[in-house]
Structure 1
Amino acid sequence: MDRALERAQWEPRAAAHAARVDAFVEPHLERRQTRVKHPVHDFLFTYYSQRPAQLRRWHPGFGVALADAPEYDGLKGYEDGAVTDAYVASQRPLLVALSRLLRATASRPANFGCFGMHEWAMVYRLDEDETRHADWPLRLGPAGTDAVVESHRIACSHFDAYRFFTPPALPLNTLSPTSGDREEFEQPACLHAGMDLYKHAFRLTPMICSDLVADCFELARDIRVLDMRAAPYDLVDLGFSPVAVETAAGKAEYADAQRTFAERGAPLRAALLAECERLMSVAEALVDA
């Protein structure tokens, strides 16, 4: 164990982390209580498997022990206030897979030419009451939305977006990503690859510090706003002005925002990769021992 934190040291950090994410967790829980859906801000809590309570809990990461921490007794991976060597060793397949994906994504040139058409392909040839967010109208109506899809080159590289294309939209995509070849397709300008940094981070919990998880969560939250502003839905009543990607000006705005998110995501991706490599070295040493 590298170091230990007394309760007076770690408790304020845990409280600060909870307060940081509560700005987004609490409104979601209030909406869930009243059964009000939000197509933008609920996404990170409904699409991803990390529960709000899990996001709120702070972890120091492997190599740090928490003194006087009964709250952590019985938590996944913990023993005596610290993540165990055995747990890290058990996660070696995840660490290997994530490191390969993170490294491959970081090494690929950023593509700023998709213009968010994945969200449009998800509603292609659907009536408005059949869309995922049927409470919100299509900004151009069904016919206008279909015309945008048909007049654009669709080049979605992210399987978890592509798999939600409507059946008639699937063959329009110039790529055919699958769940088994993510390393061959994912690239650092993709909005969904950027949001997935949050998924990769919480899958590494509790082996990494929750400060990094929160950083990835905040990036994903901001990316989701752009994702839906550029989607075909009219969300003006929720306070989101559209990024009209069917126009030249909208395309330029979208690509500029992509560049900003790719720049923000790069150091987070690098930090996650560094953590994977650190933890893999521990796991491999245990296997060889």
Structure 2
Amino acid sequence: MAGRRSGRAPPARAYHSAVEVLEPEEWRARAEAHRRRIEVWAEPHLARRARGEAHPIEDFLFTYYGHRPARLRKWHPGAGVVLRGARDFGRDYLDIPEGATLDTEALMDRRGSSIEWITRLLAATEARPGYFGCFGLHEWAMVYKATEVRHEAWPLRLSGEEIEEVVEQRGVRCGHFDAFRFFTPEARPLNALRPTRERQPELEQPGCLHANMDLYKWAYKLSPLVSGELVADCFTLARDIRAVDMRASPYDLSSLGHRAIRIETPEGRAEYAAEQRGFAERARPLRRRLLDACERLLADARLP
């Protein structure tokens, strides 16, 4: 891919955050390690896609989030890093005498308002206490009284009447808009909350599996301004969360080797809440790393 080459000198702001220089052997090793890490997930997905197959867990992060495998493979050092000796490193990079660095000024000009919104959301979520009593009923609300289901290739492990009984007896308390929008029309009035896109910073909380899975979305939307390693770390967490999300659903995925978390039972609800707490602990430092990156970017953008 051709680099961003111009006859002008790099803008002064590009150097405000350029605080680290990576030698060629280091940045090349990191780029290769990142590529190998992603290949473990991307290659099986691409092979299934070529065969016309789908996996409700392993393919979800590639199909729902829409970040292409080729883009995920591409390693970035993040803002404020000079890759010594690099030339034509790719879109959004400037060639400078020492090597290559991100054109942070141009990127912030294009993405500044988006980064401000992501910062507000992450900070609000971080500051809120976690809620661990939803028991994954969002997936049940997506099939409640449904004539068609999203994962039609996989059987449900309970009858429609049994699913309705669980949802109606337990109730639903989902504050995540991107889960709520897939509820069936019959399930939406049963939800204790009314999430909207505008209310995301008000309602998202750190115990929510989907809010923690979405750290991957915010990481890749911040890319290339954050490192490839941070994006991959968030992908790893999201992949693990997706497995639990589907294990706690009404779908029967035993043929894929996934044991159900039977949240319709007290034991299953206790297991689900324990998984939630574990994911919240894993998500906390990732959310903080993303917030730190956003805050540095916004502070640098304000420099004269």
The TM-score range, normalised by the shorter chain, is over 0.9
> Which consecutive residues of structure 2, in runs of 5 or more, have no partner in the other structure?
1-17
* 1:88–1:282 CA contact under 8 A, matched in 2: no
| Residue 174 of structure 1, CA deviation | 0.4
**2:23 paired with 1:6:** yes
- The structure 2 residue matched to 1:233, chosen from 238, 242, 251, is 251
* Change over 3 Å in CA distance of 1:208–1:268 after alignment to 2: same
User: What SS is found at the alignment partner of 2:170?
Assistant: coil
- AA at the equivalent of 1:234: D
**2:204 paired with 1:179:** no
- AA at the equivalent of 1:15: E
- The structure 1 residue matched to 2:179, chosen from 146, 157, 161, is 161
* 1:230–1:242 CA contact under 8 A, matched in 2: yes
| Rounded Cα–Cα distance in structure 1 between residues aligned with 2:293 and 2:206 | 19
| Rounded Cα–Cα distance in structure 2 between residues aligned with 1:223 and 1:103 | 21
**2:118 paired with 1:101:** no
Higher share of residues assigned helix: 1
* 1:114–1:154 CA contact under 8 A, matched in 2: yes
| Rounded Cα–Cα distance in structure 1 between residues aligned with 2:298 and 2:205 | 24
User: What SS is found at the alignment partner of 2:82?
Assistant: strand
User: What SS is found at the alignment partner of 2:302?
Assistant: helix
* 2:104–2:225 CA contact under 8 A, matched in 1: no
* Change over 3 Å in CA distance of 1:70–1:36 after alignment to 2: farther
Where does residue 160 of structure 2 map in the other structure?
A: 142
| Residue 69 of structure 1, CA deviation | 3.4
* 1:243–1:253 CA contact under 8 A, matched in 2: yes
Where does residue 270 of structure 2 map in the other structure?
A: 252
| Rounded Cα–Cα distance in structure 2 between residues aligned with 1:175 and 1:53 | 38
Alignment of 1:212-231 (within 5 A): 212-231=230-249
Where does residue 93 of structure 2 map in the other structure?
A: 78
Worse-matched range after superposition: 62-71 or 260-269: 62-71
- AA at the equivalent of 2:24: R
| Rounded Cα–Cα distance in structure 1 between residues aligned with 2:86 and 2:191 | 51
Deviations 1:40-74 (A, max 9, x none): 1100000002110111111000111223434623x
Work out the number of aligned pairs and report it: 282
| Rounded Cα–Cα distance in structure 2 between residues aligned with 1:122 and 1:70 | 49
**2:104 paired with 1:89:** no
| Residue 146 of structure 1, CA deviation | 1.5
Kindly report structure 1 stretches of 4+ aligned residues shifted beyond 6 Å.
none
User: What SS is found at the alignment partner of 1:72?
Assistant: coil
Where does residue 64 of structure 1 map in the other structure?
A: 81
| Rounded Cα–Cα distance in structure 2 between residues aligned with 1:190 and 1:24 | 24
- AA at the equivalent of 1:171: P
TM-score under structure 1 normalisation? 0.95
TM-score under structure 2 normalisation? 0.90
- The structure 1 residue matched to 2:65, chosen from 48, 51, 54, is 48
| Residue 20 of structure 1, CA deviation | 1.0
> Which consecutive residues of structure 1, in runs of 5 or more, have no partner in the other structure?
none
| Residue 145 of structure 1, CA deviation | 1.2
